[in-house]
Amino acid sequence: DADVTQTPRNRITKTGKRIMLECSQTKGHDRMYWYRQDPGLGLRLIYYSFDVKDINKGEISDGYSVSRQAQAKFSLSLESAIPNQTALYFCATSDSGGGNGYTFGSGTRLTVV
């Protein structure tokens, strides 16, 4: 099994729909992150969580919400999807020091039509 598993891998949804992207990890890490990847823009942080009771906004949190259900689970929700949220979404984890790098999932490709 992958260290960081994201579901679904691909999703097409309609404008205005609520959608949840899920992430689970087996690394035992406390820290989890949601990033968005767009061509020419790199990866941008949406939300991050340092433990179950800690949720923080990243640089592009508007239109998104998250839930940290357990140490191993971190989900991202789009309350009312819009076409400019079409992107590749990545979940990542890191240990408390962060200096050993982030472990990323394989991504969810989301298309909002």
Report d(CA 41, CA 38) in Å as an integer.
Answer: 5
Query: Quick check: 45 binds another protein (CB under 8 A)?
Result: yes
Considering only 7, 15, 56, 111, the residue that binds another protein (CB under 8 A) is: 56
CA distance readout (Å), 31 to 98, 100, 103: 8, 12, 10
Query: Quick check: 52 binds another protein (CB under 8 A)?
Result: no
Three-state secondary structure readout of 41-107: CEEEEEEEEEECCEEEECCCCCCEEEEEEECCEEEEEECCCCHHHCEEEEEEEECCCCCCCCEECCC
Considering only 4, 72, 78, 87, the residue that binds another protein (CB under 8 A) is: 4
Query: Quick check: 31 binds another protein (CB under 8 A)?
Result: yes
Count interface residues toward another protein (CB under 8 A).
27
> At its nearest, how many Å lie between another protein and the CB of residue 10?
11
> At its nearest, how many Å lie between another protein and the CB of residue 20?
19
Residues that bind another protein (CB under 8 A): 4, 31, 40-45, 48, 50, 56, 58-59, 90, 92, 94, 97-107
